[in-house]
Amino acid sequence: MRNYLNFYINGEWIAPSGVPSLDVIDPNTEEVAGVISLGNHTHVDQAVAAAKHAFAEWSLTTPAQRVAILERVCEVYGARMQDIAEAINEEMGAPLTSLAIEAQAPMGLGHFMTTTEILKNYAFEEKKGTTTILREPAGVVAMITPWNWPMNQMACKVAPALAAGCTMVLKPSEVAPFSAYLLAEILHEAGVPPGVFNLVNGDGPGVGSYLTAHPDIDLVSFTGSSRAGKMIVKAAADTLKNVSLELGGKSANIILEDADMQEAITNSVATMMMNTGQSCNAPSRMLVPKSSLAKAEDIARKACEGIVVGDSRAANTTMGPLASKMQFEKVQGLIGTGIDEGAKLVCGGPGLPDGIGKGYFTRATVFSDVNNQMTIAREEIFGPVLCIIPYENEEEAIAIANDTPYGLSGYVFSGDHDRASRVARRLRTGAVHLNGAPVDLEAPFGGYKQSGMGREWGVHGFEEFLEVKAVMGDN
């Protein structure tokens, strides 16, 4: 049982008094795994004031001083990798062995490491004649993060913000707040000065929206739903803050007829079902040639049969529960909608998987013969539900892929590299994966259209935390 009632403000753990607490539920057991406090405007004001005060000194540190701190963060983080993986496992149900230890926890470290290397080599000044172009820290940053890849999403904001010389207030998801607590401990131990990083827990309406409207916040860096993203842009409008948004997705995966069907579909199902389908860039719409539909269904069903759904602490589990009751109910509802709308259920379906009596477990579900106008093809389900959509030819596949309000990621499988690359250039998305290529932490991550604005990761993500200044005249 994790007792995480304190907030981290100005380098100290403070116990907020007279505030409600929130139970954090283990999605495997539906039992209480820990408790946090829900902060209010007073705590946001305290944290923002601490960050604003700390900015005066931190923004003037040299890149070499910040590199030294970031290297220390990497060391401390590395030493606590197992703790971090366990926290992620408890807060949102990622399978401990196959996902939390293998991917979720190391990905956070990956962002600290790549950012440290970027900082070592970054040119903060350039000369154009007598004008100097400077890149300066953007200021005090509000960071609001979701629950699905919790440490990855915090680290890809905190690392570049620290590197840029910004100070920050983090409000992690109230659904999965454990790893944020560990991150604050790590930053403290690594010697990040008081006030540079602050942590306040709370919900969206109570803490998040107040933080995004706060006059002393210069930049909001948000990851979460498109619904909340729209509210944040409105809240930030009165003070015209910079806003960076990483939002939802409904990514298309075009399997061209010259692809190795077995390999492409097996790989795609694994990517789709990873993290129980709770990844913003999940390839949730699989576009296959009409003539290969039956074969695609067969391969997808067999791939799903190989998934081991169960307790996320068991070593052989490959798919854990959904993160929360709310998510479970949403996904179950959309599986029902798919059936009602006439999609063909290939495998999975409503209800708990066989042999499981409690927890937010869901069957790995595949629908086929899906029409791109159906609700299950348009809405982000954020669960282990794959939609197979047939197409006649390449042009139609591209049109279906782009016919969505989202634009986060795209996937293309083809036996012809030139063709895959040509199709990739036609997709209106922030990233495209060819033939199963994984994400690249040094490449920009973000979306077109309603999947967001701005980019995270790598140099592009780092530059979101910098302002540009021109100093003209001899200098």
| Closest to ligand NAD by CB, 75 or 203 | 203
Nearest to 162 by CA among 46, 245, 67: 67
Residue 147 Cβ, how far from ligand NAD at the closest point, in Å?
A: 5
Single-letter code of the amino acid located at 4: Y
Q: How far apart are CA 389 and CA 400, in angstroms?
A: 9
Q: How far apart are CA 448 and CA 372, in angstroms?
A: 19
Note if 467 is an active site residue.
Answer: no
Q: How far apart are CA 379 and CA 345, in angstroms?
A: 18
Q: How far apart are the first and last CA of the chain?
A: 58
Q: Is 342 left (phi over 0), alpha (psi -120 to 50) or beta?
A: left
Residue 211 Cβ, how far from ligand NAD at the closest point, in Å?
A: 7
By the 8 A CB rule, do 439 and 114 touch? no
In sign, the C-alpha dihedral spanning 213, 461, 52, 3 is positive
Binding region for ligand NAD (CB under 6 A): 144-148, 153, 171, 173-174, 203-204, 208-209, 212, 223-225, 228, 231-232, 246-249, 280, 380, 382, 408, 447, 451-452
Token output for 296: 């695609």
As to burial, measured by CB atoms within 10 angstroms (0-12 exposed, 13-18 middle, 19+ buried), residue 73 is buried
By the 8 A CB rule, do 38 and 201 touch? yes
Residue 224 Cβ, how far from ligand NAD at the closest point, in Å?
A: 3
By the 8 A CB rule, do 73 and 187 touch? yes
Residue 232 Cβ, how far from ligand NAD at the closest point, in Å?
A: 5
By the 8 A CB rule, do 178 and 26 touch? no
Q: Distance of alpha carbon 380 from its chain centroid, rounded? A: 14
| Closest to ligand NAD by CB, 246 or 297 | 246
Q: Using alpha carbons only, what angle is made at residue 153 by residues 35 and 142, rounded to the nearest 5 degrees?
A: 80
Considering the candidates 86, 246, 380, 464, report the single residue annotated as catalytic.
246
By the 8 A CB rule, do 409 and 429 touch? yes
| Closest to ligand NAD by CB, 86 or 380 | 380
Residue 278 Cβ, how far from ligand NAD at the closest point, in Å?
A: 7
Q: How far apart are CA 209 and CA 285, in angstroms?
A: 32
Token output for 86: 């366990």
Residue 422 Cβ, how far from ligand NAD at the closest point, in Å?
A: 26
| Closest to ligand NAD by CB, 173 or 368 | 173
Token output for 95: 């399978």
By the 8 A CB rule, do 193 and 58 touch? yes
Q: How far apart are CA 179 and CA 173, in angstroms?
A: 10
Which uninterrupted H or E stretch holds 354? none
Residue 62 Cβ, how far from ligand NAD at the closest point, in Å?
A: 31
| Closest to ligand NAD by CB, 302 or 378 | 378
| Closest to ligand NAD by CB, 34 or 204 | 204
Taking CA atoms, 21 is separated from 38, 89, 148, in Å, by 6, 21, 22
| Closest to ligand NAD by CB, 114 or 414 | 114
Q: Distance of alpha carbon 159 from its chain centroid, rounded? A: 15
Alpha helices in 344-393 (DSSP H): 375-378
Q: At what angle do helices 150-164 and 63-79 cross, to 10 degrees?
A: 160
Residue 174 Cβ, how far from ligand NAD at the closest point, in Å?
A: 6
Residue 170 Cβ, how far from ligand NAD at the closest point, in Å?
A: 10
| Closest to ligand NAD by CB, 232 or 346 | 232
| Closest to ligand NAD by CB, 147 or 413 | 147
Catalytic residues: 246
